[in-house]
Chains A and B, each alone.
Chain A
Amino acid sequence: ETGVTQSPTHLIKTRGQQVTLRCSSQSGHNTVSWYQQALGQGPQFIFQYYREEENGRGNFPPRFSGLQFPNYSSELNVNALELDDSALYLCASSPQEGVNTEAFFGQGTRLTVV
């Protein structure tokens, strides 16, 4: 079975621009979560999608938005990029919504905002 894949691996954007990051979940997984990991910090929860609907959100502004598609792949969109948005963005998928289900992480997308 294929794992979680994210694209692109690296990205450089200019402040004020918009960016879309993509994630293909592991086969059979219907839940996708997105995390932001700033340099030297732990991952911070952005939001989660379950069966194409957002079912949880962390402390991130509305310019962070997402989608989940019928095949359970997902996108993270960030509008009006700020320098502080520079980080590693991680996508994680899990086979079902639940507290003790393991989340499988992708390699991440390194976003640099200049």
Chain B
Amino acid sequence: AQSVTQLGSHVSVSEGALVLLRCNYSSSVPPYLFWYVQYPNQGLQLLLKYTSAATLVKGINGFEAEFKKSETSFHLTKPSAHMSDAAEYFCAVRRGGFKTIFGAGTRLFVKA
């Protein structure tokens, strides 16, 4: 069975600092991977997705993620945090069919 583990339920960074949100997946075959962001009282917005075309994926709002098969990881990064990045971030995996499995989420706090 496939699953997703997000390391760290909370991450706090200073404005302008590097953002690193960790995600590891377990899957017997290369999966399709997604990062979503959720602002308070809102639905999910897709940041980026990995579909095997390239291991480094660039998304919206300056975020990017690198697929590392050897580490079964798909960590999300942003070089310089902005106050508006404060939100909940979800890593998700879909291997086949229809079911998307989400991680438990990481709440990002950005300090001024």
By a beta-carbon cutoff of 8 Å, the part of chain A in contact with chain B is 4, 31, 33, 35, 40-45, 48, 50, 55-56, 58, 90, 92, 97, 99-100, 102-108, 110
Contact = CB atoms under 8 A, between A and B. Distances in A.
Nearest to B46: A102
A45 B44 CA distance: 14
A100 B51 contact: yes
A99 B43 contact: no
B101 A45 contact: yes
Contacts of A105: 36, 43-45
Interface residues of B, number: 25
Contact of B99 (A4, A45, A90, A107): A45
A52 B104 CA distance: 30
B72 interface: no
Given A33-B100, A55-B98, A108 B42 contact: yes
Given A105-B45, A107-B42, A42 B103 contact: yes
Contacts of B92: 42
B10 to A, nearest CB: 11
B105 A41 contact: yes
A38 B100 CA distance: 16
Interface string B64-98: 00000000000000000000000000101011111
Looking at B45, B90, B94, the one whose CB has the most chain A CB atoms below 10 A away is B94
A113 to B, nearest CB: 19
B98 A42 contact: no
A90 B44 contact: yes
A108 B49 contact: no
